[in-house]
Chain A
Amino acid sequence: MKIVIVGGGTAGWIAACYFARFNENLKNEIVVIESSKIPTIGAGEGSTGIFTKIVNSHFSQMGINEIDFLNKTSSTLKLGIRFKDWNGEGKDFLSPVQPTETTLSSVDSHVLVSHILGDYADSSPSGYLMNNNLSTYSKSGNTIMGHSYHFDAQKVGEYFKGYAMKAGVKCVDTEVITLNKNKITGELDSIETTIGNISADFWVDCSGFSRVLIGPMGGGWKSYEEYLPTNSAIPYIHQYETNETPKLETLAWAMPNGWMWQIPTQERYGCGYVYSDKFTTYDNAVDELIKTTGRKIEPLRNLKFDCGRVETPWVKNVVAIGLAQGFVEPLEATSIHATIIQLDFLLTNTTNFVLEKENTIFDSNINRYNEFVGKFFDDIKDLIQLHYITEREDTPFWKYCKYEMKRTDNVKDILSICKHRSPSMLDFNFYHGSGNWGVWCWSLIGLGHLTKEVAKNTLKAYNNTDEQILNTFNGIKNRNFKNSIRCMSSKDFMKTLLNKQL
């Protein structure tokens, strides 16, 4: 089969690697169309633990590994996200990459005990390291526990491009002008480009917001506008001060009309203000940025977006992956996460595109894929909405979020449950890539929805005595103490990383 991937960003080149992975005898011809005239979106991007898995295991036979990845892409580690000012000024909470060791139990005793007696983020090994400016690398230079990465999408795209092309993927520098759909089968036969006609058996649309293929193929659109308040972003770059060592965390800083991301790579911060243009203007948003951060800001551009997803990401012989499939603001680093889960699912369902076309593209395969991706993305939307339901009501924007925004069923259920007991994994769907209790717990506690009192009542209802609670707490402290001895400080880690001595 001939497979054409349209778009050469992170999604496009990771997709190319996935397609190349089981294509040793080059049974399929794999082509990526990328235009040197179309810039890649992104001023800093973060990932979840899933990306760590693909860097360390999925593509190892292609020569990819973590240290190679870090060295060649100027990426840094990410131990978690620091949410600043979300529940009012001066209040931080952490969302560590690594869930607790009891996250799959019917009562997550580690997070609850830590919540009652100390800092709940310490219940996650990586949360404790974050709190203490440590890294997830041991002093002898081995990686020891859950982290993901901060990176520059452009560089990561280039990195995967290098390996994909080594594995035989071809790259054509051109742009799509029009599509030629087959009138009888409805399939996409070929496209016209600036350098002529290109045909393929299967198409992967990684063209980002422009949705070059899935749009005309009738993918449709389901907007999350009712449920998510923001629709604009102002990305900018912020240079490090001399001798500044960045923390190994994404900063998500609540602002008067949205929030700002700040993502460290080896060279600089990538930042951006995600806001709602219904509550502020571009000019005011820039002023708010300057006022809140005390920085000089040079906006790269003013991005407009509609959070939502394509109704049918796989139509006939075209599938949309990454931003072309859907978009929610980067609050929980779900973008690259979703890209990887979609590719895992797509390549498994299609048996890696090694079989004949009729064994790859058939209704049940397509329906199951669309059902899964739709639900998966809708669940992400619920998690993002949760962050906006805070104690803040200092601006009309935050008042709107608290009192007027339509809440999703899942958010309503979970918030209602939090008044009575701690939720647990049983309250969430868990499937490949689902963001369930292991992620929700941090925001629920951080925003005060799950109080210490309810946490304690939950533990008590499971027959935990005060002594047992204290024992569990000491056990966690002990584990953290041992980790603190083993791990490099984040400063030393950054120095080692910059000297390429990892």
Chain B
Amino acid sequence: MKIVIVGGGTAGWLSAMYACRFNEFSKNEIVVIESSKIPTIGAGEGSTGVLTRVINTYFTKYGITEIDFLNNTEAILKLGINFKDWNGIGTQFYNPIQPSDTTQSSVDVDLLVQHIKGNAYESSPSAFLLANDYASYSLNKKDTTAGHGYHFDAHKVGQYLKSIAINNGVKCIDTEVTSVNINKDNGELESVETTIGNLQADFWIDCSGFARTLIGPMGGGWASYSDFLPANSAIPYIHQFEKNEDIKLETLAWAMPNGWMWQIPTQKRYGCGYVYSDKFTTYENAVDELIKTTGRTIEPLRNIKFDCGRVNSAWVKNVTSIGLSSGFLEPLEATSIHSTIIQLDLLFTNGLNFVNKESLMYDANINTYNSFIRNLFDDAKDLIQMHYITEREDTEFWKYCKYEMKRTDKVNEILEICKHRSPSMLDFWKYHGTIGWGVWCWTLVGLNHLTKDISLKTIKAYGHSDAEIEDRVKRISHNNLIKSIKSMKSKDFVQCLLTKTLGK
């Protein structure tokens, strides 16, 4: 089979790596079309724990390891997200990569007891390390001590994966798609016209990002989330480190007058951006807000307009869309690279690693894939909306979010449950890549939707006495203390990274 991947960003080159992985048997011709004229989107990107799994286990035979990845992409660790000012100026909460040890139980006791004590984040080892300026690497510079994701520059990660993919037989063509030729009889995409001529393939993967070069014309359709998510614009910018700046291993998600700002450290600098709503502020005002809130000089890279949503059918005939071309949510919970990986996991499992066209393209396969992806995006949308329902009402934007924005059914349901009891993993559907209680809990606690009072009541209802609660708190503190003793300080860790001495 000939597989053509259109677009050479993170999604494109990750797709190429997946296609390589079992190609010794399937022997496909794999081609990536990327245009040197089209820039890769992104000023800093963060991941969830799913990328960590891919980097550490999927591609080891190509020499990809975490340390190699970090050394070659200027990426650094991410222990979690630091939400600043979301529940009013001066408030803060963490959303760590690693959930509590009891996150799969019908009552998440560790999280709840720590919440009652005022330090919910201490129930996560990675948040404890983060809050105390530790890295999740042990003093021997080799072993990891807690769960982490990565912060990276999408362009550099793309290049890293590209060089490995090309070494393993993937071809790369520098061109642009100008039009698509769809077969009138069977509806399949037969070929594309490019600036250098006609290109054919048996199967196509659309990684063209917002352009949706293939899935658009193939009739993928679109379901907008604009009713449910308030932001529609972004101003990315780069911010240099101060001399001797202590880099925290966190994504900063800083609530702003009309949206929020991300700040993602890589080894060299911060990638930042203001995600805002142009219904409540203008581009110029947004830049002013940025300057005023951060006290920085800002040099915007551009002003991006977006529509949060997803395609209705991510897979149509012999074309599937992966990454941004299949859907977009603001990067609040790093769901973009997360869903790219989940899509690829599912596509290559369902597609039997692309052995032949017959074992890849049939209705049952396509339908189960599409309904899975719809759920994945729709569920992520619920989580993102959750963040906007805060105590803030200091601007029209935040008032709108609190009082007028249409809430999703899931958000309504979970917020009502929080008035009566702590939710648990049973309140969320579970599937590969699902974003359930283990992520929701931090925001629910951080925005005070789940109060200490309700948390205590919930634990008591499970028969835990005051003494047991005290014991558990002590045990968690003890375990955290041991972890911190074993771990490097984040400053030392970054130093190791910069001198490429990790693992040595």
Contact = CB atoms under 8 A, between A and B. Distances in A.
A22 B355 contact: no
B25 A461 contact: yes
B463 A24 contact: yes
Interface stretch (B81-89, B312-320, B364-372, B377-385): B364-372
A421 interface: yes
Given A359-B421, A416-B364, A420-B359, 17 more contacts: A345-B426, A352-B461, A355-B461, A358-B420, A362-B419, A362-B420, A368-B413, A413-B368, A416-B365, A417-B368, A420-B362, A421-B359, A429-B429, A431-B429, A457-B355, A462-B22, A463-B24
Given A355-B420, A431-B430, A461-B352, A426 B346 contact: yes
A194 interface: no
Contacts of A425: 432
B367 A426 contact: no
Interface string A410-425: 0011101101110011
B104 to A, nearest CB: 10
Nearest to B104: A432
A365 B420 contact: yes
Interface in B404-428: 412-414, 416-417, 419-422, 424, 426-427
Interface string B1-32: 00000000000000000000010111000000
Interface of B: 22, 24-26, 106-107, 345-346, 349-350, 352-353, 355, 358-360, 362-365, 367-368, 412-414, 416-417, 419-422, 424, 426-427, 429-432, 457-458, 460-463
Contacts, number: 118
Chain A binding surface SS class? helix
A367 B426 CA distance: 13
A413 B25 contact: no
A417 B364 contact: yes
B378 to A, nearest CB: 15
B462 to A, nearest CB: 6
Contacts of A430: 430-431
A365 B107 CA distance: 15
20 contacts: A351-B420, A351-B461, A352-B462, A355-B421, A355-B457, A355-B461, A359-B419, A359-B420, A359-B421, A360-B420, A364-B414, A368-B417, A413-B367, A416-B362, A424-B349, A426-B345, A432-B430, A460-B25, A461-B26, A462-B353
B413 A364 contact: yes
A158 interface: no
Nearest to B421: A351
Contacts of A421: 350, 352, 359
A106 interface: yes
A458 interface: yes
A92 interface: no
B239 to A, nearest CB: 40
Nearest to B359: A420
A364 B457 CA distance: 18
Nearest to A350: B421
Contacts of B362: 416, 419-420
B457 A359 contact: yes
A115 B441 CA distance: 43
Nearest to A454: B359
Contact of B355 (A367, A424, A431, A461): A461
Contacts of B368: 413, 417, 427
A348 interface: yes
Given A420-B362, A420-B365, A463 B427 contact: no
Contacts of B360: 420
A458 B352 contact: yes
Contacts of B365: 416-417, 420
